[in-house]
Amino acid sequence: MIVTCPQCETKFDIPDDKYRPGRKARCSNCGNVFALPELDDAVSPEGAAAPAGMAAATPPRAEEAASFDAADEAFADIADEELADDAPEGDIAAPPASVDDVVSPLAKKAAGNKISKKKLILLGGMCLVVALLAYGGIMVYSAVFAPPKGTDPVRATDGSTVESLGGKTRSADQEKEAARLAAVRRLSLENVRQYTVTENEKTGPMVVVEGAVVNNFETPKDLILLEITLYDAKGNALVMREQYCGVTLSLLQLRTLPQAAIEGALVNQSVILSNNTDILPGSSVRFTSVFFDLPHSAYEFEVKIIDVQDPAKK
């Protein structure tokens, strides 16, 4: 009996003794499971007689017959497995297992690989976060605790040794400032004042800072040097000049002398050497400093003793 697979239309020749209409069969070509048709729908290899008025069915060609014969053996093997001769009539074969119920080992392995990839991605992300946090910590530590650029933690840029106090190093500027303070620690300022002179038509308005320095050391001192700085209201330095003590100018001189004469008097070496040397303990030396072309934003001033010398040994 010739049977055609409804899925792929492959034809098989089933022996009559094994043909049972309604039973399940599987196509060996595409795997489709279908019920064997009734005998009226099946086709005999020799062909069936045609009804009256119609031509008889054409026997299959030689090549089709060859394909039938080639597939008979394969279909017969499947038919032996699928057709249960002893099953009671009307029984329904169990439906094939669904795709969800059958998972091949290869599919299980692929699922395992997918989970492993997710774990690897998560682990990689955690490692990246840890690395970024470590890098940020190093940068913050370097910015806060690293020594200033241009200085060595052990030696300053000029090669001199830097003293360490409390585990902290001091720069060359800090060392210089410490030495200055030690040298002038017993010199003090007194009667310092600042005023503006506007009556001098030759110079225009000028700011005058004057006062005195007292020697509180137990030995004489020479050549006391000052630094006078003018600041604006925000504390920004506007102008600064250095001035040796020993020079004083009267208000009359400030009102009448030209600018060149005033500036020359402030650096007169003979006057400075006469008044600013061999300053005995407890004695004082006066000073005067003048600023021309004063910025309008000048707000306050500062006088700082920056240097002093010991008298030359005789």
Tell me which residue has tokens 């409804």. Answer: 6
Whether 219 is covered by a domain: the verdict is yes
Helices (H), the chain: 62-82, 105-145, 172-184, 251-256, 259-266, 269-275
Residue 109 belongs to some domain of the structure: no
The predicted structure's pLDDT at residue 68: 42
Helix (H/G/I), strand (E/B), else coil: 210? strand
Residue with tokens 């700085």: 229
- CB burial class (10 A; 0-12, 13-18, 19+) of residue 11? middle
| pTM strictly above 0.75 | no
* Rounded Cα–Cα distance for residues 125 and 189 (Å): 66
Q: What is the pLDDT of residue 88?
A: 42
Q: Does residue 181 sit within a domain?
A: no
What was the pLDDT predicted at 182? 85
- End residue of a domain, out of 82, 102, 128: 82
Task: Taking the CA atoms of 129, 130, 135 and 136 in sequence, report the sign of the dihedral they define.
Answer: positive
Q: Which pLDDT belongs to residue 113?
A: 54
- CATH at 280: 2.60.40
- DSSP letters, 244-260, are ETT----HHHHHHS-HH
Residues in the chain where the model's pLDDT stays below 70: 40-115, 141-170, 314
CA distance 225 to 227: 7
In angstroms, what CA-CA distances link 227 with 80, 224, 242? Answer: 118, 10, 5
- pLDDT at site 14: 76
Residue 92 forms part of a structural domain: no
pLDDT of res. 283: 96
User: What is the reported pLDDT for 37?
Assistant: 80
DSSP assignment of 35-60: EPPPTTTSB-TT--PPPTTSPPPPPP
| Model pLDDT, residue 290 | 96
Which residue, 150, 149, 179, is CA-closest to 163?
179
Last residue of a domain, one of 33, 60, 82: 82
Burial class (CB in 10 A: 0-12, 13-18, 19+), 149: exposed
β-bridge mates for residue 165, sequence order: 168
Residue 91 within a domain: no
> Based on the structure, what is the number of domains in the chain?
2
Tell me: do 191 and 305 sit in the same domain. yes
CA torsion sign for 84, 87, 90, 93 is negative
Please report the pLDDT score of residue 105 as a whole number. 46
Domain assignment present for residue 199? The answer is yes
Does a structural domain hold residue 104? no
Please tell me the predicted confidence (pLDDT) of residue 166: 42
Using the 8-state DSSP alphabet, how is residue 105 labeled? H
Q: Please enumerate, as own/partner, the contacts of 29-34 that have beta carbons within 8 Å and a separation of 24 or more.
A: 29/5, 29/71, 30/5, 32/5, 32/6, 32/7, 32/8, 33/82, 33/96, 34/5, 34/6, 34/7
Choose one of 82, 112, 135: the last residue of a domain: 82
Residue 260 lies in a domain: yes
pLDDT of 169 reads: 55
The domain of 274 spans: 186-309
